[in-house]
Amino acid sequence: MNLITSKNLVRFFFFTSLLMGSFNFMGQSLSFGYVQGYFGVTAQDAAWLLRGFQSGTIITSIAGIVFIKWVGNRNLFLGSAFLLLIATVFSFTSDAFNLLLVSRIAAGIANGFIIAVSTQMYLSTYEGKARMFGTLNTVAANISGMCLGILSNSLFTEDYGWQFNYYLAVPVLVFIIVFSFYFVPDAQRNEEVEEDWISLIPFSILIISVFFLVMFRQQYQGISNLKILISAILAVVAVAILVIRGFTHSKPLFDTRLLQYPGFILAIIISYLSGAAFVFNISLLTKLLGGILQMPMRDVFHFINFLFLVVFLLLVITIILIAKKFNPYWLMISGLLAVAYTAFKLSRLNPQFSFDNVIAPSLIGMAGAGIIATAVIMIAVKSVPQHQVGKVANFRSVAFTMGIALTATDLGRLLDFERVRNFNLMIRYTDPGNPLIQERLNGLVAFYQANGYDANEAYDAAINGITGMVKLQSFFLGVSEILLIGCIISIVLALLLFVLWVARNFKMKLKLAKLSIWLLVCACFDTTNIKAQKTFTLAECINYAFEHNPLLNAAAKDTSVAAIGVQRVTGLYLPRVNFVSAFQYYISKRNLLVEGGSALAPSTLPEGDPLAIKTGFTNSWFPALNVNQLIFDPAYRNSYNIALQNHQLQAQYLASFKIDLITGIYKAFNTCRLLEVQAHFLEENITRIDTLIGLARTKYEKGAGVKIEVNRVEVTGNRMKSELINVRNNYSEALLALQFQMNYLERDSMILESDFTIAQVVGKTDSLMQQLLQSNPSMRIESQLLQTQIILADESVKLEQARAKPIFGADAVLGFTPAANTLGKIFQGERWKPYSYIGVNLGIPIFNGLDVKRAVEQKKIQASQSRNYLDQFTNEFENERRTTYIKIKNAYERYRYADANLKLANSNIELLHEAFINGVADNQDLILGENDLYENQARYYNDLLELMLSGIEGLRVTGSFNTQAGW
């Protein structure tokens, strides 16, 4: 059989084979998630379909280089293609999971051999410097095939089942098998064959042990298990063997001597990270769009598919730019900076889908990913001597595919780890005993009770709401942290590439270049902990909470829905215009029955005999334009009032929720500021007591004192330092509670700013107590909300009563009645004679089965309930007002005594120091004075905190937060 020798046709055939192999790598293997439910297996078992196929492909894509010499190009290619076809058929016909798993592993092995032969044969069509361009084309084929695989999964798997991608591969495989007799030669052409076949053994062990290591780490959540230890040891031993053979063998499978070139090492790291980022970005974009932005999954898939097209387009553009002699270093730096920008922008987790927030960063990131995937091979090639260029492809291929495979299997564990870590950190501060959380809990309970829940259901829903919000916040905070780390890594890699470019172009000494790289690597580890700072005033905290709290946004949408409801009711008196059309085909025409002797009967018909006369037409059409106008509806005014009051009710619900949120933020913010003041006070005392400790030690060392004095003064100092630690921990708890109220998910640390002073807190007490005495329940949003509910109930009674009253309206019709026995004649002008009328209609209810009467009774009972609730709230308000007044009064009295005692203790310390200098007092007196100061400061700040929190509660009771809540 004659072989086709046209280079373009040969390239097309092997490019198609590469495309199919890469398509299978992602398209078939990613459907493992749907197999789980189909066979009823666990997620870990289903994941082995992905691991088995991809590990087999990775191993044989390298092993094929050696097998070509032993088996031959055509035999290896045809055998692998037939094996892949058989395994694919077994895959979509298997009725047992074990059979499917075996067939997928066999398919992965065959798929790798096809990729190996196709790559070698495709590159053999290029010679000299053009071979580099062929290498770029193989990279484009790999990435394009993977994009097509993910596209196919997102478009078809959910609708057509997990077998669809297997069906899709069969015709392509048949095409490749048939035409391989015309394109694949018996012997290899102009290709150097690697002779280091022994390295295939440690390489296979390395790939399999790495997959097992990832699996066991995910299963046992750590590295202490024996299985994890064995997998790690096997991986380390396999790497050591590969490194040794790479340095000692004349023609190694993996030439590890290339690792002496910094540019090559960086290119391989970027290859691995680009493969990982390929899966990571798609997965996180799906979670961000579907999770935070609540987009339908179909729209998410359409957007992701569009991004794949962008990646493919940038692959082509990058290849063209490289062919036009553009510098690959600057292309790579541009791609890395684009990815860094995208990671930083998406880490902000903006809840609005817009061009600036989502579309532009996604496009820029995918464009950068396409540039990186293509330019990295050029950097690797340019970093090694010309005679070792052929050794680069193995490293790049393994690094890129391992990045994809490991990320696809380990991404879920990574996100779960970050989510659980953040959840455990945040849930500690959501104890219902915490007064700040109690405020939030009470607000949610009131919110759910207002929506029809009973007390127990509302409490359970509030607890679930807080827990669910913490889970959601912890997950997306983990996503934000991972994205920000990706941003930092991308920037550092771009800096490293810049250093290598400078070293390459300006002949920088190699040692200096390596030193610069190590410094940048160290800077990378240091910058992972660097966080920006954002300053917040109290008003800015409240505004931030209003913008980012999801429950608040949901309540605001309820208000918008109610406003549209008012507009709908307003439009009831607008005319209704409708076009109606009815077409009728009569199988049997109507008959007009006449009787002999009647006016219509023929004279020949005997009297009394019936005669059926066919009338009408076979085809009839009745188009008409109807206009209806409501003139009077007794229920309109009540419907309008109900819609108006419902709008006001929703606005009051929103204001009530805002007030609870403002109260919590006030308490958390001012607690943080007070703890800052206390910490500063303790730091000054600790500085003074450290001096006292030094004096006591000096006296003891010189024989002028005793050991017990040193111990006692050190105990006093330790108590003061322990108190400072407690204050700082309490500050962290209060700050985290503030962030929880604000729904603050950013990594930037918060710096609180205000004109907070203790005198300001205390000075407002008297006026606040007077406000409490003069306050009344009508100032509270809860009272206004209940009054609105009463108005709603009264209007509902009137609405039901209006159903028994007459309704008056008008209507008008313009219509035609064309008809014909033949459809073609129905459009003749004579048949279109219009008819029209104008009329009025009056509807008078007479008897409706007592439904109106019973409905009115129901609504009256509900109105009575609302009045009972208002009376109950009035009683509760009086009790709350008195309780708050007593709390503030008692706290203020305790604070006055604590303030006096603290001032006396401070004065005593000053007098004792002066007496100590003059020799009148000794260490014992100073120790007693410091202990007295410690106890009084603790009591002082505790009483001050209670006074401040009681004062904030008093502001809520008097309705002082209504204005800030927009009411």
Residue 508 has pLDDT above 70, yes or no: no
SS3 936: helix
- Encoding tokens for residue 603? 């004279």
Mean pLDDT of 620-640: 88
pLDDT recorded at residue 108: 81
Q: Which amino acid is at 566?
A: V
- What single string gives the DSSP state of each residue in 690-751? HHHHHHHHHHHHTTSS-HHHHHHHHHHHHHHHHHHHHHHHHHHHHHHHHHHHHT---SSEEE
CA dihedral sign of residues 428, 429, 430, 434: positive
Average pLDDT rounded to a whole number, residues 850-866: 85
Q: Give the three-class secondary structure for 380.
A: helix
Q: How far apart are CA 461 and CA 653, in angstroms?
A: 17
Q: Quick one: pLDDT at residue 513?
A: 47
Highest mean pLDDT among 372-381, 810-819, 851-860: 810-819
> How distant is the alpha carbon of residue 198 from its chain centre?
47
CA atoms within 13 A on the CB side of 419: 15
Backbone conformation region of residue 614, classed left if phi is above 0, alpha if psi is from -120 to 50, else beta: beta
Whether pLDDT at 523 is above 50: no
Contact (CB, 8 A) for 25 and 149: yes
Q: Which residue has the higher pLDDT, 722 or 477?
A: 722
Does pLDDT of 528 surpass 70? no
Nearest to 145 by CA among 15, 276, 322: 15
Give residue 58's pLDDT.
75
Rounded to the nearest 10 degrees, the angle between the axes of helix 97-123 and helix 43-71 is 40
Cα first-last separation, the chain: 88
Place of tokens 């039901």: 800
- Mean per-residue pLDDT for 938-946? 87
The pLDDT tens digits for 239-291 are 787 777 777 776 776 666 777 777 777 777 777 777 776 666 666 666 666 65
Between 22 and 953, name the one with better pLDDT. Answer: 953
**Residue 856 in this model has a pLDDT that exceeds 80:** yes
Pairwise CA distance, residues 587 & 618, whole Å:
7
158, pLDDT greater than 80: no
Contact at 8 Å (CB) between 243 and 234?
Answer: no
Pairwise CA distance, residues 803 & 807, whole Å: 9
Q: Among 205-209, 664-668, 821-825, which is the least confidently predicted range?
A: 205-209
Q: What is the pLDDT of residue 278?
A: 67
The type of residue at 678 is Q
pLDDT at 562: 85
pLDDT of residue 292: 55
Q: Which residue type does 694 have?
A: G
Which SS3 state, helix, strand or coil, does residue 2 take?
Answer: coil
- Judged by DSSP in three states, 613 sits in strand
Mean pLDDT, residues 939-964 taken together: 86
Cα–Cα nearest to 25, from 218, 169, 212, 206: 169
pLDDT at 184: 78
What the block records as the tokens of 90 is 């077994």
What is the per-residue pLDDT across 371-416, written as a single tens digit (0 to 9) for each?
Answer: 777 777 777 777 766 666 566 666 666 777 666 666 655 555 555 5
Range 545-571 average pLDDT: 82
The pTM assigned to this predicted structure is 0.50
Window from 60-69, 74-83, 222-231, 270-279 with minimum mean pLDDT: 222-231
Instruction: Identify the pLDDT of residue 813.
Output: 92
Q: Is the pLDDT of residue 446 over 50?
A: yes
Percent of residues, the chain, with pLDDT higher than 70: 72
Which positions ≥6 away from 773 have C-beta within 8 Å? 885
Checking DSSP bridges between strand 624-632 and strand 576-580, what pairing results, if any?
Answer: antiparallel
Q: What are the angstrom distances between the C-alpha of 511 and each of 114, 261, 517, 522? A: 43, 12, 10, 17
Distance CA 700, CA 16 (A): 89
Cα–Cα distance measured from residue 490 to residue 340, given in angstroms and rounded to the nearest whole number: 5
Mean pLDDT for the stretch of residues 671-687: 85
Q: CA dist 745 to 150, 434, 441, 471, 914, Å?
A: 31, 21, 20, 12, 52
The closest alpha carbon to 369, from 423, 331, 409, 418, belongs to 331
Q: What is the DSSP letter of 355?
A: I
Mean pLDDT of 544-569: 82
Q: Could you tell me whether strands 583-585 and 619-621 are parallel, antiparallel, or unpaired per DSSP bridges?
A: antiparallel
> Is residue 512 pLDDT above 50, yes or no?
no
Q: Using the predicted structure, report yes or no on whether residue 530 has a pLDDT greater than 50.
A: no
> Of 956, 895, 30, 863, nearest to 446 (Cα)?
956
Question: How far are the Cα atoms of 681, 911, 929 from residue 905, in angstroms, in the given order?
Answer: 13, 10, 7
Residue 910 near residue 918 (C-beta atoms within 8 A): no
Average pLDDT over residues 546-563: 80
- What is the per-residue pLDDT across 37-63, written as a single tens digit (0 to 9) for each? 666 676 666 766 777 777 777 777 776
Rounded Cα distance between 857 and 860, Å, is 5
Of the listed ranges 267-276, 386-395, 718-727, 791-800, the least confidently predicted one is 386-395
pLDDT at residue 429, rounded to an integer:
54
Condensed to tens digits (0 to 9), the pLDDT of residues 887-909 reads: 888 888 888 888 888 888 888 87
- In degrees and rounded to multiples of 5, residue 780 shows phi and psi of -90, 145
Q: Regarding predicted confidence, which is higher, 3 or 661?
A: 661
Q: Which residues pair with 534 in a beta bridge?
A: 750
SS3 of 799-828: the string is HHHHCCCCEEEEEEEEEECCEECCHHHCCC
The per-type count for the chain, helices as H runs and strands as E runs, is 27, 11
Rounded (10°) angle between helices 7-27 and 43-71? 150
Residue 342 near residue 305, CB atoms below 8 Å: no
Using alpha carbons, list the distances in angstroms from residue 810 to 232, 638, 836, 837, 838.
Answer: 86, 22, 14, 11, 8
Alpha carbons 803 and 88: distance in angstroms, whole number: 69
Structure tokens at 362: 């996604």
Give burial (CB, 10 Å; 0-12/13-18/19+) of 543.
Answer: middle
Strand-strand pairing, 749-752 and 533-536: parallel
Task: Check: CB of residue 30 under 8 Å from CB of residue 150.
Answer: yes
- How many residues are listed for the chain in this entry? 967
Confidence of residue 812 (pLDDT cuts 50, 70, 90): very high
Residues of 79-117 as b/e, b for ≥16 C-beta within 10 angstroms? bbbebbbebbbbbbebeebeebbbbbbbbbbbbbbbbbb
- pLDDT of 351 higher than 70: no
CB-based contacts of 578: which residues, under 8 Å, 6+ apart? 625, 626, 628
Task: Tell me which of 416 and 453 has the higher pLDDT.
Answer: 453
Cα separation, 866 vs 639, whole angstroms? 19
| Structure-token match 């800015």, residue found | 540
Q: In the prediction, which pLDDT does 529 show?
A: 44
Residue of 284 and 845 predicted with greater confidence: 845
Q: How does pLDDT run across 745-757, given as a tens digit for each residue?
A: 776 677 888 888 8
> Which pLDDT value is given to residue 212?
67
Mean pLDDT of the chain: 76
Residue with tokens 């398919």: 107
What is the distance between the alpha carbons of residues 546 and 655, in angstroms, rounded to a whole number?
11
72: left (phi over 0), alpha (psi -120 to 50) or beta: left
* Nearest alpha-carbon partner for 374 in 451, 445, 316, 436: 316
Question: What is the average pLDDT across 675-686?
Answer: 84
Q: Is the pLDDT of residue 515 over 50?
A: no
Structure tokens at 855: 């409905």
Give mean pLDDT, residues 506-515. 49
Residue 953 has pLDDT above 50, yes or no: yes
DSSP of 618-683, one letter per residue?
SEEE--EEEEEEEEE-TTHHHHHHHHHHHHHHHHHHHHHHHHHHHHHHHHHHHHHHHHHHHHHHHH
